[in-house]
Amino acid sequence: MNSSNPFRSIALTDIRLEDDRFRITVEEEEDLTSLIRSIRTVGLICPPTVWLTDSGFIPVCGFRRIQAARSLAEAGASGELTAGSCRLIKRRLVPSRQLRTMRSPGN
């Protein structure tokens, strides 16, 4: 892999969606029908961003896109959806919730 290329193909099953420290959307059971239809029709235009940690790949943005791509893969869609091209971040990140706590007065 070219070290200057921030994109990497990662198996969708290797992304730990249960770690939602960077999640912004709050709906637990969203209807992904239109997103799934869009990905099926035109593909994944904007790849998700994941963070490589000691415990695996953690989503930073693109939770819904990852879920939709997983749904397509489970439904037997084309084999190219079994691995997604993701933007990979290797440096240390701090979730925004933690930043707000760190910056609040009196801390």
Tokens for 6?
Answer: 């921030």
Residue 29 counted as domain residue: yes
Would the pLDDT of 106 be above 60? no
Residue 44 counted as domain residue: yes
Residue 45 counted as domain residue: yes
- Find the Cα–Cα–Cα–Cα dihedral 66, 87, 85, 59, rounded to 10°: -20
Q: By the 8 A CB rule, do 51 and 60 touch?
A: yes
Residue 1 counted as domain residue: no
Domain count, the chain: 1
Domain coverage including residue 97: 7-103
Would the pLDDT of 13 be above 60? yes
Residue 2 counted as domain residue: no
CATH code of the domain in which 64 resides: 3.90.1530
Task: Give the relative orientation of helices 33-42 and 63-74 as an angle to the nearest 10 degrees.
Answer: 70
Mind listing the pLDDT tens digit for each residue in 31-89? 899 999 998 888 888 889 999 888 889 999 999 999 998 888 888 765 444 445 777 77
